[in-house]
């Protein structure tokens, strides 16, 4: 049997990058995948793409920074599938600037999506998981949230906050049958690094003992493990998938 057979999995930010790879990986493992993304055009195209591959996938537009939008998305999932087994809090944005020049708007936009959005989505799926007495919640932090990164005050704050929320929720929800964990990706080959100059990419690779950037499937496979029954006794864990960047 497939590792996620007939599980219902919501993947936020699932229309591109790591989220899209996770959607494909989960669906291939038997899950009914909901791509929850702000980009309606791309999200609809991804639904058609995965369905064309014979995979169970549905796109639902959502603004994770908006509580009402998240609540409506969760209700649509329950209406369509009857339950929510897995939430992958993957959606994220960047608005980089040095501290002296970062605007309040740039700071708040990243907090709203990357941190408050995780709060909204986790609250949104909770009633279904509590009713079932089971569930897997996986949130995406970053090495930036652990070690900091120049020009990313907002991103670092949000990603560090995710770790604190993960450990808190793991303590609150474990007795309810819900596992809560986080994944910490390192530098990964996604759209976020497509426009980074080659010399900067080479410097990034030089910091990694494995001498390469991560691939979206590296992160998706970590999501898969934590979302599967194989991780039944893993709770409150922060799993680094970063090539050993800061050992």
List residues with catalytic annotation: 155
Q: State the Cα–Cα distance between residues 52 and 94, nearest whole angstrom.
A: 31
**Residue 2 has which token pair?**
């497939």
DSSP secondary structure string for all residues of 38-61? S-HHHHHHHHHHHHHTT--EEEEE
Three-state SS annotation for 129-151: HHHHCCEEEEEECCHHHHHCCCC
Per-residue CA distances from 207 to 36, 124, 219 (Å): 33, 38, 18
Cα(46)–Cα(15) distance, integer angstroms: 6
Instruction: Report the C-alpha gap between 36 and 173 in whole angstroms.
Output: 23
Distance (Å, whole) CA 60 – CA 43: 8
């Amino acid at each position: 049997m497939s590792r996620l057979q007939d599980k219902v999995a919501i993947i936020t930010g699932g229309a591109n990058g790591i989220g899209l790879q996770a959607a494909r990986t989960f669906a291939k493992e038997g899950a009914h995948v909901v791509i929850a993304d702000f980009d309606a055009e791309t999200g609809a195209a991804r639904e058609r793409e995965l369905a064309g591959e014979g995979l169970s996938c549905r796109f639902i537009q959502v603004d994770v920074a908006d509580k009402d939008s998240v609540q409506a998305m969760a209700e649509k999932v329950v209406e369509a599938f009857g339950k929510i087994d897995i939430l992958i809090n993957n959606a994220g944005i960047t608005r980089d600037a040095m501290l002296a020049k970062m605007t309040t708007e740039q700071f708040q936009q990243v907090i709203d999506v990357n941190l408050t959005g995780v709060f909204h989505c986790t609250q949104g799926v909770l009633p279904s998981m509590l009713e079932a007495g089971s569930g897997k919640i996986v949130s995406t932090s970053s090495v930036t949230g652990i070690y900091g990164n120049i020009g990313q005050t907002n991103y670092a704050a949000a990603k560090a906050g995710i770790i604190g929320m993960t450990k808190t929720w793991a303590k609150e929800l474990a007795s309810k049958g819900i596992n809560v964990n986080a994944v910490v990706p390192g530098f990964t080959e996604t759209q976020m690094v497509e426009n980074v100059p080659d010399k900067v990419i080479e410097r990034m690779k030089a910091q990694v003992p494995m001498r390469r950037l991560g691939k979206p499937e590296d992160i998706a496979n970590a999501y898969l493990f934590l979302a599967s029954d194989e991780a039944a006794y893993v709770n409150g864990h922060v799993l680094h998938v970063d090539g050993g960047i800061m050992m």
